[in-house]
A and B are shown apart, each in its own frame.
Chain A
Amino acid sequence: MDSARQALRLLRAYGLRSVLTLFGLVWGTASVVFLVGWGESLEEVVDRGFEKAGRDLGQLSAGTIGEEFTPSTDRRQLLISWQDVAAIRRQARLARAVGAETRRYLPVTAGSLSFHREVRGVEPEGLRIRAIPVAQGRTIRPGDVGERRPVAVLGFEVAEDLYGARPAVGRRLRIDGRFFEVVGRLERMGAQFGQDGEPIDDQIWIPITTHFASWPTPGTEPNAVSTVLYRLSRSSAVDATEDELRRLLAERLGVDPKDEEAIVGWSASRTLAQIPLGELRGILALLSVTTLAISGIGVLNLMLDTVRQRRREIGLRLAVGARPLDVVVQFLIETATIVALGGLLGIAIALALILAFAAVDLPEIIPVPRVSVPAIALALGVMSAVGLIAGGIPALRAARVDPASTLRSDG
């Protein structure tokens, strides 16, 4: 207790220097708690994003033949037809479902409002793969596709932009001059990872056949799809499933299945595995811990200085019966008090900041740092180590003061 009081006196005596030292500790611990907490929620945000996009979702699309494959002189854009997709669907054994989508950026008009949006031609097979819940009305049905009906399902934001809070179902809008009836509105999806094109919230869905008929692909293949979607079955590995689909598709397009420029593949699970989240968290932790450790140098300096200035006091204490261990303990407690003061303040500030972040309405894609028990434990652990080193060295130095020096202080 006396040593703790002495620590507070010491801080008062050092004025600005104490403030800077404490600031280092506050900054250090706050950054550990904040950044490590942030890293944790970053991981969760990514995870959630993939969950929504579909963790077992995969896509294939056509590109151009790669240079090391024949005929490499053929630079034309390869096209996958709807018929190709239907054929693959019949032949594929490993994928749980296969579907097609086609998309185009088109002007959309409703009343006096007009803007461009991504309009997707979809089919029920593809929608089952995406599994996006409908908020109002219905989704695109087999009958819509079979009869090429002019119906549209709006993404959450599109409906919001066009109609605000009013119901969207039953309204009519024009896409590139053609009339469509709104039959459904999707749930808000928020941040997603790995999707192609615009976020689903900003898309308009129409039957794929209506899409082909209204905006046929120029050239020989009017029914070209943009994307082949597939869903992994629970038992099959992503690589084997993609390999099978790639082989079937390559056969139909007349390209080499190994040509990754001709057939471009993407899968959520593989992308997720490639994001170095662990490393990212490690870097955040390392950066913040380093900051905290560096702040320890300030404490070390302060304590070394106070030991230098208090040699007389230390000598006196030793002369009147303090054991060297008593002196070591005294300076360790003084250091611990200073470190605890700065460190706990830092943790409190970080927690307050985290709560403040949570209260602000941030875009979903920005991770909100969370109160992380491991982060606090890490901060406390590093703080203790800092205290032990920054206090230990000066304390040992203090214990070596010669008690006989009390008799010689005036020469």
Chain B
Amino acid sequence: MGVGEAANAILDLEGVHKHYQTDRVDVHALRGVDLRIATGDYLSIMGPSGSGKTTMLEILGLLSPASAGTVRFQGRPTSGLDVTALAHIRSQEIGFVFQAFNLLPRLSAVENVELPLVYQRSGGGPGGRRSRRDRKERAIEALRRVGLESRAGHLPGEMSGGERQRVAVARALVNDPAVILADEPTGNLDSKTGEEVLSLFDALHEQGGTLVVVTHDERVGARAARTVSVRDGVIERDD
């Protein structure tokens, strides 16, 4: 691998293994994964249930450490970082779209979108925090990008499934992340609203965004520029 290539990579997994201990049963979820995600990639990770694709997303999102192997974020190994440093990278550089929307039901759409900004420490305000006004402006802007500016004050319960998932996408966009990681973004949506979210991803990709989508939805796989198939904890195909 060349130096230029490595520098260009946002996320780089090398020989990654992951073990889980559940109910005294040792699960070997990943068994030596090599994966490089470059800026501008639109990648789908596909595979049946239990193949290890969600585990892979955990590792890519720096939510969980690898049991063995190397995980580099923007060229730097992450193995020596503590929870605070990892939280810092997530708040600055990673946007998450979760399967079941995962919006806080008592917060309005704009408050939900603001959430990642609340924890940012480089906003220039006291203690590096962003001002309330700055957060609000950015959150409204993110909602505008997903076409929900007019719904900013609504609670998630007052919105349709598609709208909720677009709010979730706006939340993933709001910190202007280097990479957006999505977990089954169309899983809870009918085909029409699922299409809305996928169009949004297409647009983000066209604007130069980097997307990694874990799914078993063939339509998503077809839209992505690159598809990685996972089976039994190893990458079966990458094209």
Contact = CB atoms under 8 A, between A and B. Distances in A.
Interface in B96-151: 96, 98-100, 102, 104, 106, 115-116, 118-120
Interface stretch (B5-13, B58-66, B190-198): B58-66
Interface stretch (A49-57, A101-109, A314-322): A314-322
Contact of A407 (B90, B98, B118): B98
Interface string B154-171: 000000000000000001
B70 interface: no
Contacts of B92: 321
Interface residues of A, number: 24
Contact of B87 (A6, A322, A402, A404): A322
A200 to B, nearest CB: 69
Interface string B83-98: 1100110111000101
A398 to B, nearest CB: 13
A323 B116 CA distance: 11
B183 interface: yes
Nearest to B184: A410
B54 interface: yes
B157 to A, nearest CB: 14
A406 B102 contact: yes
Sorting the interface of chain B by its residue count into under 10, 10 to 19, 20 to 34 or 35 or more gives: 20 to 34
Interface string B46-76: 0000000010011001011000000000000
Contacts of B116: 320-321
Contacts of B87: 318, 321-324
Nearest to B95: A320
Contacts of A410: 99-100
A77 interface: no
Contacts of A408: 54
Interface in A291-322: 312-313, 316-322
A406 B63 CA distance: 9
Interface of A: 2, 6, 9, 312-313, 316-326, 402-404, 406-410
Given A320-B90, A407-B54, 10 more contacts: A316-B115, A319-B61, A319-B63, A324-B84, A403-B63, A403-B64, A407-B61, A407-B99, A409-B100, A410-B100
